[in-house]
């Protein structure tokens, strides 16, 4: 549904263009933009302004082949990597630097997420500024709807700032386009306070989540954001806010913020939340929506994840760059009887979906041989045992299978929505907050919350023996369980920083790094453009 506003902008532009028919009026007419005072004339045009930031969101919130928030937050952590595989994947060592925490402040990997997220903030600010001049009554919009539209933009802007604060720490706060031209760096605690204020002042003016509002900012999304903010408050502001996190979680779990398909409940299986009919999910709270049958847009995760011949595995129409794989130590973190291991990852011999008797063939080291994904990242075709970021080959590493596009013949082929928050997040948020309040030890409610989620990851015969107890659900184990439950979802670095593991832990071929790497650098080109910015500790620049 978030694609609809594109038509509103085009229709508005066409109306203005066709209405300019005087041959004696020499006033300048701009054809490259629409004057806001001449555009927001009715509810649909106003709605198009509200929806504009959503079309930009997939560029930085999901794995869609751009240097996004998702890439920084996953590929610097302990689960996913893009190793060199023979002649492919070196890419000027950008993935190696990201994996090894040796990035520089001059590279695009640091600049692009900054630029993408601030562009989204610009869309929010632009529309909010335009709305100050709009006569909503004349446009047929009630005061209640006006307040909801403005709240939606402010909550979305706050979400952008929360993610900027997560990545870069101290960032400038800008609420009006071009004012000031060179905004100063705001301390992270000040950014936290701004985000909290914007959320608290606006969430309750949003409508409850319903199927009609899928993909939009609602109370369910807003309280999910507030819960995430408070969960990370100790890192982001210096002060823990566990009770506030619990209160935000309770708003959602008690059904006070609505649900996508009735009151939110956990999906009973591992695929309903992520498949191409996941608009029917019971647990989704906020998602980027896609309808590939109605629009030319889909979540293009294939570019990052898919093998050069992977379309055959799904009977689909898209291959990929054979890039991101699961790190061996992350694959081994799943027990063999954990259904998430066999359901959310591809491993072993691959066959064609259109004819399961036919193997999918390799294209590089295993050209004309069956493609067999293996957990190891090493050059087995050359009988080598070294395993590092430069030792991969085309079949190295377990592969992404959490979101499945379906076959081309299916009615909802590749119309999977990308989930940003789900009820499982809320269960884990609350469980962690309860444990933190209790000195790191599990209380019965925390154990129950995690077990309620975990039980669908095992066959009925295994559920009881795999359940946690207050003794086995420690904070390190909670971090490990988060890694298994949220693999591929863009959350891992944030989790590791909160648990103090991002720069202190070792995994696969990665060794501990300096604590300053918990933040990414303010990009060099932004420092050059704005003399009022201050660089993060440990990086070049003032």
Mapped to the 3 state alphabet, what secondary structure does 495-531 carry?
Answer: HHHHCCCCCCCCECCECCCCHHHHCCCCCHHHHHHCC
Two domains, one topology: 42-205 and 207-289+417-501: yes
The 10 Å Cβ neighbour count of residue 323 is 25
Q: State the DSSP H helix or E strand holding residue 373, giving kind and residue range, or none if neither.
A: strand 372-373
The 10 Å Cβ neighbour count of residue 181 is 9
Q: What is the pLDDT of residue 38?
A: 73
Q: What is the pLDDT of residue 39?
A: 84
CA distance 414 to 318: 10
Joined tokens for residue 299 = 């979540």
Q: What is the DSSP letter of 146?
A: H
Quick check: 106 and 8 in contact, CB under 8 A?
Answer: no
Q: How many residues does the chain have?
A: 542
Q: What is the pLDDT of residue 5?
A: 34
Q: What are the backbone angles phi and psi of residue 470, rounded to the nearest 5°?
A: -60, -25
| Burial (CB count within 10 angstroms: exposed 0-12, middle 13-18, buried 19+), residue 356 | exposed
Q: What are the backbone angles phi and psi of residue 287, rounded to the nearest 5°?
A: -150, 155
Joined tokens for residue 293 = 């049958």
Residue among 71, 81, 90, 80 nearest 390 (CA): 90
CA distance 412 to 291: 8
Give strand pairing partners of 262: 260
Q: What is the pLDDT of residue 13?
A: 28
Q: What is the pLDDT of residues 327-366, one digit of tens each?
A: 999 999 999 999 999 999 999 999 999 999 999 999 999 9
Q: What is the DSSP letter of 206?
A: S
DSSP string covering 82-143: ---BTTBS-GGGHHHHHHHT---TTSHHHHHHHHHHHHHHHHHHHHHHHHTT--TTTTT--H
CATH class of 42-205: mainly alpha
CA distance 328 to 90: 19
Q: What is the pLDDT of residue 21?
A: 36
CA distance 223 to 238: 21
pTM beyond cutoff 0.85: yes
Q: What is the pLDDT of residue 153?
A: 98
Q: What is the pLDDT of residue 22?
A: 34
Residue among 500, 146, 167, 488 nearest 343 (CA): 488
Q: What is the pLDDT of residue 37?
A: 63
Q: Which regions of the chain are under pLDDT 50?
A: 1-31
| Burial (CB count within 10 angstroms: exposed 0-12, middle 13-18, buried 19+), residue 137 | exposed
| Domain locations in the chain as residue ranges | 42-205, 207-289+417-501
Helices vs. strands in the chain: H and E counts, helices first: 20, 8
CA distance 145 to 409: 40
Give strand pairing partners of 179: 176
Q: What is the pLDDT of residue 184?
A: 96
CATH class of 207-289+417-501: mainly alpha
Residue among 76, 78, 60, 57 nearest 68 (CA): 60
392 three-class SS: strand
Quick check: 67 and 109 in contact, CB under 8 A?
Answer: yes
Q: What is the pLDDT of residues 132-190, one digit of tens each?
A: 999 999 999 999 999 999 999 999 999 999 999 999 999 999 999 989 999 999 999 99
Q: Angle, nearest 10°, between helix axes 423-437 and 242-253? A: 150
């Amino acid at each position: 549904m978030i694609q609809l506003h594109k038509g509103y902008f085009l229709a508005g532009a066409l109306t203005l263009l066709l209405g300019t028919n005087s041959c004696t009026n020499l006033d300048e007419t701009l054809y490259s933009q629409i004057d806001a005072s001449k555009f927001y004339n009715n509810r649909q045009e106003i709605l198009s302004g509200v929806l504009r930031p959503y079309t930009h969101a997939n560029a930085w919130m999901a794995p869609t082949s751009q240097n996004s928030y998702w890439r920084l937050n996953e590929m610097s952590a302990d689960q996913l990597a893009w190793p060199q595989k023979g002649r492919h994947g070196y890419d000027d060592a950008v993935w190696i630097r990201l994996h090894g925490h040796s990035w520089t402040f001059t590279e695009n990997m640091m600049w692009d997420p900054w630029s993408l997220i601030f562009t989204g903030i610009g869309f929010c600010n632009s529309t909010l500024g335009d709305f100050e001049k709009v006569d909503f009554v004349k446009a047929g919009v009630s005061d209640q709807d006006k307040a909801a539209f403005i709240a939606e933009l402010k909550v979305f802007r706050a979400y952008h700032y929360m993610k900027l604060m997560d990545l870069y720490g101290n960032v400038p706060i800008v609420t009006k386009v071009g004012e000031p031209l060179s905004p100063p760096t705001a301390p992270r605690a000040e950014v936290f306070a701004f985000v909290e204020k914007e959320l608290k002042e606006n969430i309750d003016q949003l409508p409850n989540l319903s199927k009609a509002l899928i993909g939009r900012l609602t109370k369910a999304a807003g309280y999910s954001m507030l819960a995430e903010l408070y969960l990370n408050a100790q890192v982001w502001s210096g002060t823990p806010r566990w009770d506030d996190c619990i209160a935000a979680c309770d708003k959602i779990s008690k059904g006070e913020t609505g649900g996508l398909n009735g009151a939110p409940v956990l999906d009973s299986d591992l695929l309903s939340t992520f498949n191409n009919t996941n608009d029917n999910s019971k647990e989704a709270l906020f998602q980027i929506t896609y309808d590939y049958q109605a629009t030319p847009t889909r979540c293009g995760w294939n570019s990052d994840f898919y093998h050069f011949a992977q379309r055959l595995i799904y009977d689909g129409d898209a291959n990929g760059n054979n890039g991101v794989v699961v790190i061996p130590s992350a694959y081994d973190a799943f027990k063999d009887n954990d259904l998430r291991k066999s359901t959310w990852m591809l491993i072993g011999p691959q066959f064609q979906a259109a004819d399961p008797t036919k193997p999918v063939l390799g294209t590089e080291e295993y050209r004309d041989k069956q493609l067999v994904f293996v957990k190891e990242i090493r050059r087995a075709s050359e009988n080598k045992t070294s395993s590092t970021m430069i030792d991969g080959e085309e079949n190295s590493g377990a592969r992404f299978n959490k979101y499945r596009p379906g076959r081309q013949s299916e009615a909802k082929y590749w119309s999977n929505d990308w989930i940003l928050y789900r009820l499982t997040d809320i269960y884990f948020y609350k469980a962690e907050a309860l444990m933190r309040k209790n000195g790191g030890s599990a209380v019965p409610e925390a154990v129950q919350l995690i077990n309620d989620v975990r039980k669908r990851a095992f066959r009925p015969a295994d559920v009881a023996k795999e359940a946690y107890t207050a003794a086995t659900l420690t904070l390190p184990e909670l971090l490990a369980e988060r890694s298994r439950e949220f693999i591929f979802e863009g959350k891992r670095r944030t989790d590791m920083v909160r648990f103090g593991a991002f720069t202190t832990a070792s995994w696969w071929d990665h060794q501990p790094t300096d604590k300053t790497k918990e933040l990414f650098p303010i990009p060099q080109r932004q420092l050059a453009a704005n003399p009022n910015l201050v660089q993060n500790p440990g990086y070049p620049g003032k």
